[in-house]
Amino acid sequence: MGRYVVASVDEIQPGGRKIVDVGGLSIGVFNLNGDFFALRNRCPHQGGPLCEGKLWGLLEARVPGEFAFSRRGEILTCGWHGWEFDVRTGQSWCDPRRLRARTYPVRVETGSHLVAEAAEPAADDPSAPIAGRVKGPYVAETYPVSTDGRYVVVEIPG
């Protein structure tokens, strides 16, 4: 499974989205009031760019003439043919038993957690000689790196 940092949390505002290429796939990452969701940017109907579509809500009528609008900004409509999908689950609203958009796990993690996770084991000595190399007399100037902030991480299986 590949894990990809796709944005800082403040880069995708509530109600917004960001389309990214990760692991060879185009993925749409959506912020629904602080909760993040990721969908493949490919409509299962005919392959259109699903995540570029319009975000709507649900319009329901229990009886004729009486309408209720809910889930504002949580229903994504494909721009090619108007097929609708739930951003939270990928479930379609046009053929709910068979059709859904591919979803991917999304987490928000702190920068320090990501750096610690990516760091090599502490047992490695950076000043130790590397096999087949001769240590030169020059040293590059280094600077401290900040890991402040929170980041959106998408997990792609496989």
pLDDT digits (tens, 9 = 90+) for 83-138: 999 999 999 987 767 788 999 999 998 887 776 666 555 455 666 667 777 878 88
User: Could you tell me the CATH number of the domain that includes residue 115?
Assistant: 2.102.10.10
Please report the pLDDT score of residue 93 as a whole number: 80
Helix (H) or strand (E) holding 111, with range, is helix 111-118
In a domain, 55, yes or no: yes
Report how many domains make up the chain.
1
pTM of the predicted model as reported, rounded to 2 decimal places? 0.76
* 115 within domain boundaries: yes
Residue 136 falls inside a structural domain: no
% the chain with pLDDT above 70: 87
* Amino acid (1-letter code) at residue 152: V
